[in-house]
Each structure stands twice: as C-alpha cells, then as structure tokens.
Amino acid sequence: MQSIIQTIGAFVRDEEGVTAIEYGLIATLIALAIVVGVTSIGTNLEAKFMAIAGYLN
C-alpha cells in the first residue's frame, strides 16, 4: 500500500508532462499567429493585384 501512495505522490510532483503541454500550447499559438498573418497578407496582396489588373484593362 505504501508503494502505491509513493507512486501516486511521485506522479503528482512530476512536472515534465506539464512542461511538454506548455510548449505544445506555445507552438500552437505561434502557428495560429502565422496562419492569421499569412491569410491577412494574402488577402491584401490579392486586392492589390486585382487593382493592378483593373488598371491594365
């Protein structure tokens, strides 16, 4: 019984999984920011090209 209590205590004190989850969340937020930024730039760039195409016609 003491072994089970010690194992559970060690599991609760172990922070390696928490760190991995934090890094995963940070990576997800960075990826989301990149996707939003690229989408915004792509939309603006498309509008510029459409304006240029309108002037050429």
Q: What is the DSSP string of 1-57?
A: -HHHHHHHHHHHH--HHHHHHHHHHHHHHHHHHHHHHHHHHHHHHHHHHHHHHHHH-
Query: Given this model, what pLDDT does residue 28 score?
Result: 95
At 17 the pLDDT is: 67
- pLDDT per residue, tens digit, the chain (57 aa), is 678 788 777 777 776 667 778 888 999 999 999 999 999 999 999 999 999 999 987
The tokens of 17 are what? 């999984």
| pLDDT at 4 (0 to 100) | 79
Question: What pLDDT sits at residue 8?
Answer: 75
